[in-house]
Structure 1
Amino acid sequence: MNLNFLRTFICVVEEGNYSRAANRLHLSQPAVSMQMQTLAEDLGVELFRRRGHRVELTEGGAI
């Protein structure tokens, strides 16, 4: 597990949007998406559910 991925996860939760999180972290949106996909695979849970442009935590992501 990568500590930077956890920081990105926290930022996505705070921003509610991959693009805004990417902007805040000075990353590209695809980089944020890739990090969240990798983190979800490492943890074995779905972290987010997409609602249009917004994301919300799943039960697994909230733990």
Structure 2
Amino acid sequence: MGRAARRLHLTQPPLTRHIQALEDELGAQLFERTRSGMRLLPTGEAFLLHARRILAEVDAAMLTVRDVAGSRTGG
């Protein structure tokens, strides 16, 4: 969890709270917590698949908007 927090430029406690809030909202546990760390559960793997697709669509939308904006301004 610490390594993930560093990659996100967060400290561990806020990241833990965000994950717990997401799990509460979903009504499902995404990770198995162990003494040695965390392991993604099948529910987490399913959510991750959708999250990656959503992020790819957001990236594609941003590129499309920039392309359209550039064609209107001649850029």
Does TM-score exceed 0.5, indicating one fold? yes
Instruction: Bin the TM-score by the shorter chain.
Output: 0.5 to 0.7
Partner of 2:23, secondary structure, is: helix
Output the TM-score relative to the length of structure 1.
0.65
Instruction: Tell me what 2:31 maps to.
Output: 48
> Percent of aligned pairs with the same residue?
39
Instruction: Tell me what 2:18 maps to.
Output: 35
Give ranges in structure 2 of 5+ residues lacking alignment.
47-75
Partner of 2:38, secondary structure, is: strand
Instruction: Tell me what 2:49 maps to.
Output: none
Q: CA RMSD, aligned part only?
A: 1.1
Instruction: Please give the per-residue CA displacement for 1:1-53, whole angstroms capped at 9, x wherever unaligned.
Output: xxxxxxxxxxxxxxxxx110111111010000000000001111101002323
Output the TM-score relative to the length of structure 2.
0.56
Instruction: Tell me what 1:3 maps to.
Output: none
The structure that has the greater radius of gyration is 2
1:58 aligns with 2:41: yes
Structure with bigger helix share is 2
Give ranges in structure 1 of 5+ residues lacking alignment.
1-17
